[in-house]
Amino acid sequence: MLKKIRMTTSIIVLGLSLYGLISDNNDLLPFTMAGLAVLMVIMGAEELQKDRKSYRSYLFFGVSAFLLLVSIEGFIY
């Protein structure tokens, strides 16, 4: 289930990124970062479901929190 959600989210983020790159539209950058934050949360949840005792899941959650803060700042300014 998480794999399908991850693939869908990554396709959406890739589409937003390509559109912003081709059209030189920087207004979509906060949406792209928010999508990346969601993608990192999903990847962290997959790592936790695999029950791996590694730092990667915590790293995914930390990077996700940072991306979410940066995207919120992008929405405000």
User: pLDDT tens, 19-49?
Assistant: 999 999 888 999 999 999 999 999 999 998 8
Tokens 């589409």 correspond to: 15
Q: Per-residue pLDDT tens for 41-51?
A: 999 999 988 87
Helices 2-23 & 29-49 angle (0-180, nearest 10)? 160
- Number of domains within the chain: 1
Global pTM reads: 0.87
Structure tokens at 28: 């979509």
pLDDT attached to residue 51: 78
Domain extent at residue 52: 2-76
